[in-house]
Structure 1
Amino acid sequence: MQKLKALTALRAVAAITVIFFHIMSPTGHTFGEFGVDIFFVTSGFVIALVLDNPALTAQRFLADRIARIVPLYWVLTFGVFVGALVAPELLNSTTANLGNLLKSLFFIPYRKESGQIFPMLFVGWTLNYEMLFYVVTAASLMLVRRYRLVLTSALILAIFCAAKASHSGSVLAAFYMNQRMFEFPLGFMAYQNWKSGVRIKLPLAGCVAAAAYAWMAYINWHDLSDAPLLYYGLPAFVLIGCTLSLEPAMGSGSLTRAAIFIGNASYAIYLSHPYCVEAARKLLPDAIDGFDATAPPGVALTMIVATAMGAALYQFVDWPLHRHARRLLHAVPAIRLRRSRTAGARDTGTHAQEEPAGDLPVNEDAN
């Protein structure tokens, strides 16, 4: 499988950007929400790359995606549930509700006690979209392998239109009429451009990538993001295209290796950073006189600790859980459907990531 250092490094930037956003969000002056949009477009790109493996079955695709997403998310969600039981004063609106726990674990959108549509681990709202994307993609893979990207995009459009047209006011309708769902097909387009050999010259690619990031930061800072697909999704698409064109400039020095490692750990960093941010906000002021998480020293400390904690979590928890979950799910007998006999005979590419080192294949760390 293709190893893309630049795209992995971009995931590191996206994860750190989201940390900054959540640290500064109480001030009302922040940017970084668009890190999620970068992740969504990247996810579409990576899944399109994965689906180009002719031996990949829908069952194996879902098994790999579940193994990648579920284990760490469940661990950290249970952590929030336990926290709500033993120290509810540390949580903003989450209570130890068993029904909400089950909805969170199985990616069912619901309204929290605050009225917002978030799971117990609030950053997991993005995973609700990711899991829908994976299920729709698996269905497309089973139905029309040749036009899998087109059908997946069409099904996403159908879900969005059905949610818009329902006028039901239900949680599901409100959740699935989010424009950000179209960022997965934007990732498909980015992949098709890249596969076709579309590249931008290095100096221009670097300038445009920086401009796309600055544009999203400006829009976010001034709270002009009433149309996320336009303000964030399309610039994220441009940013990823430019980033892919920067691949020849990626070296092998220590800075590159560090960026790649953080990028590989970006999923763990993304899921775990709320623990660090809330600790910095609610616990450190009592332990360190005058500590302010939103002041420059507090921001720097919180970002460094959150990144380091996520990286350690990836190395010692996320990666082992992912590896064992894949082995367990791959041991499940294949469901034999039409065309699956030949499709399952050659499983090349799905075992590409065997060591938690830098420069990992993008098909295994799509978040």
Structure 2
Amino acid sequence: MVNADKAQPSDSTVMQWPIELLRGIAALMVVFAHYWGLAGVKAGLFVYFITGVDLFFVISGYVFAPYFFGKTLHPQSFFIKRFFRIYPLYACSLLIYVFLKFSTSQEAKYLVTHLFLLYTTESREIAFYYNQAYWSLPVEIEFYLFLPALAYIARLKGGLFVMVAFALVLHCVIAFFSPTDMRMANNFLAFSVHLPGLLIEFLLGVIAWQISRNELTARARFLMIFAGAALWVIAAWVFSFYFARGGDNAVMENDVLRGNIGLFAALAFMPIVAALGRFGQRAPPWLRIVSVWLGNLSFGIYLFHNAAPQILNLCGVIAPPVVFAALCIILTFLIAQVLYVWVENPSRNYGRAVAS
């Protein structure tokens, strides 16, 4: 969901395509997590694909990790670039979802709350009213806002270790005291979708960046990727088992799983990101091209994939479930590509120009 700002000038070519590939994979995971029902297939491990959001968080921590280790941060320039990277495309997507509400004779409520990205401070219903995927944007912005302070603390002696330990303990407390029923909202449930509950996932990305600075052998990279993938599959199997028994509430009733689903996924993604983050030019040109393309479209895919089924339904498209899901994917990519050319890339370049 964020642009891969270059860690160091000399690293720009080396780190670009692997991070863009991971960003594209994260977006596609979220799409599959929401589309398995449309395709008429059993949920299975597809349910756990929702943790593509957590991969986004780890990537964000990785991309901005250099600021934790001495890279100069100019807050004004940084915030300007972040605003024009995120908000114009988000505002465009909000207009589309508002139009879809009107087109189905539904009320376009909570507009002010959504314009200021405050929807996750009120209720689950408000946060999901237009687009379920919107929930992750406020915590990303919170990470950006607190980045100067986090980077300062990390540069103190033992600062990063203390911060990671504190973030982990804070997450565990919030997860433990979250309600066992998703319908029973409390302050701890609200904290779980904001920086207090999710900071540890961003910091795991910072650790992944630190690990990737080492000269990793091919064997080490393979073992890290294998270990991360194995952990993810195990967590996915456990989650899908409980989810099949009773949905989100069955997961929330388990003291180990409650509030920790994203953390387990982030722990699995950390070694994978570390192993692939500086994979460099060891790939055919077509893979680098496809990776950058997917990364460029990832934010649009994430924002608009929940609009695609509504648009097709509005147009009266009727097709078998698998075909309908495939059409939704094609439409999602088409919308993301068009708006990347017309909105996202121009606004990002404008932000960079203003910031410089």
Aligned partners of 2:66, 2:117: CA distance in 1, in Å?
Answer: 24
Q: Which residue of 1 aligns with 2:214?
A: 196
The answer (yes or no) to whether the contact 2:69–2:154 under 8 Å persists in 1 is no
Q: Which residue of 1 aligns with 2:314?
A: 283
**Count of residue pairs brought into register by the alignment:** 314
The answer (yes or no) to whether the contact 1:136–1:155 under 8 Å persists in 2 is no
CA RMSD in angstroms, aligned pairs only: 3.5
Aligned partners of 1:313, 1:155: CA distance in 2, in Å?
Answer: 40
Q: State the 1:192 CA deviation.
A: 1.0
Q: Percent identity?
A: 23
Partner AA of 2:293 in structure 1: F
Aligned partners of 2:83, 2:61: CA distance in 1, in Å?
Answer: 16
Q: Which residue of 1 aligns with 2:265?
A: 232
Unmatched segments (≥5 aa) in structure 1: 331-350, 352-367
Aligned partners of 2:160, 2:104: CA distance in 1, in Å?
Answer: 44
Q: Which residue of 2 aligns with 1:123?
A: 133
1:248-297 Cα distance to aligned partner (Å, 9 max, x none): 53221x343123211122112211222113334x336x333xx14xx332
**Which of 29, 45, 54 in structure 2 is aligned with 1:17?**
29
Corresponding position: 1:87 with 2:106: no
Partner AA of 1:136 in structure 2: F
Instruction: Call closer, same or farther: CA 1:220–1:10 in 2, change over 3 Å.
Output: farther
Q: Which residue of 2 aligns with 1:44?
A: 61
Aligned partners of 1:245, 1:144: CA distance in 2, in Å?
Answer: 26
Partner AA of 1:287 in structure 2: V
Aligned partners of 1:278, 1:71: CA distance in 2, in Å?
Answer: 22
Instruction: Call closer, same or farther: CA 1:260–1:137 in 2, change over 3 Å.
Output: same
Give the match's secondary structure for 1:33.
Answer: helix
1:332-347 correspondence to structure 2 within 5 Å: none
Corresponding position: 1:103 with 2:113: yes
More helix by share: 2
Q: State the 1:20 CA deviation.
A: 1.3
Relative to the length of structure 1, the TM-score reads 0.72
Q: Which residue of 1 aligns with 2:288?
A: 256
Q: Which residue of 2 aligns with 1:140?
A: 150
Partner AA of 1:177 in structure 2: S
Instruction: Call closer, same or farther: CA 1:50–1:69 in 2, change over 3 Å.
Output: farther
Instruction: Call closer, same or farther: CA 1:12–1:54 in 2, change over 3 Å.
Output: closer
Instruction: Call closer, same or farther: CA 1:162–1:133 in 2, change over 3 Å.
Output: farther
Q: Which residue of 2 aligns with 1:342?
A: none
The answer (yes or no) to whether the contact 2:58–2:270 under 8 Å persists in 1 is yes
1:178-202 Cα distance to aligned partner (Å, 9 max, x none): 4444210111110111123445525
Q: State the 1:128 CA deviation.
A: 0.9
The answer (yes or no) to whether the contact 2:229–2:268 under 8 Å persists in 1 is no
The answer (yes or no) to whether the contact 2:174–2:188 under 8 Å persists in 1 is yes
Instruction: Call closer, same or farther: CA 1:55–1:167 in 2, change over 3 Å.
Output: closer
Instruction: Call closer, same or farther: CA 1:216–1:172 in 2, change over 3 Å.
Output: same
Q: State the 1:247 CA deviation.
A: 3.9
Q: State the 1:80 CA deviation.
A: 2.1
Q: State the 1:310 CA deviation.
A: 1.1
Aligned partners of 2:344, 2:168: CA distance in 1, in Å?
Answer: 33
1:151-206 Cα distance to aligned partner (Å, 9 max, x none): 86578569758967999987764222344442101111101111234455255456
Q: State the 1:246 CA deviation.
A: 4.3
Aligned partners of 1:16, 1:311: CA distance in 2, in Å?
Answer: 15
Partner AA of 1:231 in structure 2: F
